[in-house]
Structure 1
Amino acid sequence: MADETVDENDPVVVTKIEYKGTKVSVLEDVYEPAEDTFLMADCAVKEFSDYEKNSGNARHAEQFELDDPFSALEVGCGSGFVSAFLLNHFSDLDLIAVDINPNAVKCAQMNGVRAFESDMFDIFEKSRHLRSIDTPIEDVSPSKPPLGFDLILFNPPYLPTSEDEKVSGMLNYAFDGGVTGRDSIDRFLKEVGDYLKSDGFFLLLISSITGLDETVTEMKKNGFSAEVVGTKKCSFEELIVLKGKRL
């Protein structure tokens, strides 16, 4: 029997997680699915199911071919659990996931998610630029759907973090929200409109630590309504999922 060799550079699985029938493996330096992940996953399935039912007939009648799939993007996918959970419920969903942490991208891919390394939406801007100058790019490079995504998900790093509170390694990306905890949230709200379909929606998970009123104000400032679609008490904070649609 041949000896199995292990490359020291191969990612190491540190744990496996299962929730409501969806199983993922989690690699080193990747955020382990927890209460916030499961809350987002449950909200995503419920809200997308409602959206699919309510907009399906209209979107096909007005501007789509019957076989055009609904599209979704998860920003900051981590292990890929939320995306995998969605795909288990909506197998025809055209879903792309991105994360700034390359280990998270490897992890999500290992868990069956079409994931790419990107700082938020940067990968789509790069792809758009290359296409605009007719530069050959790989077929696997993701691009924004012509009319935007139906659903965009973001469970951001929301903990207020000073320099001495940073976590070592790439895992810091999952926790570090800047001094106020709002760095990634505010950037997301400024940029998300460029990638969202006119009748689409996004789900944003925040903590009571981050500030619900401040986030709602920022959403409205950027042209979005704000609806609380899920909450969960969790030790010292309350987790909140906000749904945003164009005003």
Structure 2
Amino acid sequence: METPYQNHIDKADFEFVYEPAEDSFLLIDALEKDLQYLRNKNPTFCLEVGSGSGIVITAFAMVFPQSLCFSTDVNFKACVMSKSTAAHNKVILEPVTMDLASCFKNQFEVVIFNPPYVVTDSDECGHVNITASWAGGEKGREITDKLLNTLPKILAGNGTFYLLLIEENIPEEVIDIMSKKGYKSEIVIRRRVKNEQQLVLKFYR
């Protein structure tokens, strides 16, 4: 998978929108590693929750131009940037400003989420500004767990969910939560970055 063109983005915009970092590129690497699996599924409807700059869903759309790709972000500026990133890479993306995927009734064959995973006080998470991109509350999982509760409503029966976590998020608990909802799991990729052990989990029925 190609890394999308990003030179159109003004660096000053990253005061308001999460700047692509190691976790963003790890998620792209995970999708690339799973590319044959995804090609076999030939997904029609795909969604990235919390798209930030839009580089992950754009990288996906560049490989699957026939897919209808959507993104959400609680931060309107992130939705504008995601749309711009897609346009500069000549792919079609429909960004929607919303909390997680709360307004969707669609069922997506692929859902991608790089959540705010930093362990913080609860009152630091749930904002609509740049803080929303990293503050995860207790266990760094408050936003993630909120999406997990609604995931069966937006993920198609044959769908696949890709989730980036760090060890502090206690991935084993996430696997257990999803197992109780009827999902199998795999670790697609794992990498130590500075002081973080990052990994991407894949869930499917």
TM-score (norm 1): 0.72
Q: In structure 2, what residue type is equivalent to 1:173?
A: A
Percent of aligned pairs sharing the same letter: 30
The CA deviation at 1:188 is 1.4
Q: Is the 8 A contact 1:189 1:222 kept in 2?
A: no
Matched, 1:160 2:134: no
- Helix, strand or coil: the match of 1:189? helix
Q: Is the 8 A contact 2:75 2:128 kept in 1?
A: no
In the TM superposition, 1:1-247 aligns within 5 A as: 20-24=2-6, 25=9, 27=13, 28-53=15-40, 55=41, 70-112=44-86, 113-124=93-104, 144=106, 148-162=107-121, 170-246=129-205
Over the aligned positions, Cα root-mean-square deviation in angstroms equals 2.3
Which fold has the larger relative contact order, with Cα–Cα distance below 8 Å and residues 6 or more apart in sequence?
Answer: 2
Distance 2:148 2:28 in 1: 20
The CA deviation at 1:184 is 1.2
Relative to structure 1, the CA distance from residue 234 to residue 95 in structure 2 (aligned partners, 3 Å threshold; closer, same or farther) is: same
For this pair of structures, how many residues does the alignment match?
194
Q: Is the 8 A contact 1:98 1:116 kept in 2?
A: yes
Q: Is the 8 A contact 2:167 2:198 kept in 1?
A: yes
- Helix, strand or coil: the match of 2:119? coil
Distance 1:170 1:21 in 2: 26
Q: Which has the larger radius of gyration?
A: 1
The CA deviation at 1:164 is 8.5
Q: Is the 8 A contact 2:72 2:98 kept in 1?
A: yes
Q: In structure 1, what residue type is equivalent to 2:68?
A: D
Q: Is the 8 A contact 2:44 2:68 kept in 1?
A: yes
- Helix, strand or coil: the match of 1:30? coil
TM-score (norm 2): 0.86
- Helix, strand or coil: the match of 1:209? helix
Provide the residue aligned with 1:11 in structure 2.
none
The CA deviation at 1:163 is 6.5
Q: Structure 1, residues 119-138: CA drift from partner, whole Å, max 9, x if none?
A: 0112225xxxxxxxxxxxxx
The CA deviation at 1:52 is 2.5
The CA deviation at 1:45 is 3.4
The CA deviation at 1:180 is 2.3
The CA deviation at 1:150 is 1.0
Distance 1:169 1:222 in 2: 29
Q: In structure 1, what residue type is equivalent to 2:95?
A: A
Q: Which runs of 5+ in 2 are unaligned?
A: 87-92
Relative to structure 1, the CA distance from residue 169 to residue 94 in structure 2 (aligned partners, 3 Å threshold; closer, same or farther) is: closer
Q: In structure 2, what residue type is equivalent to 1:234?
A: V
Q: In structure 1, what residue type is equivalent to 2:120?
A: T
Distance 1:21 1:149 in 2: 23
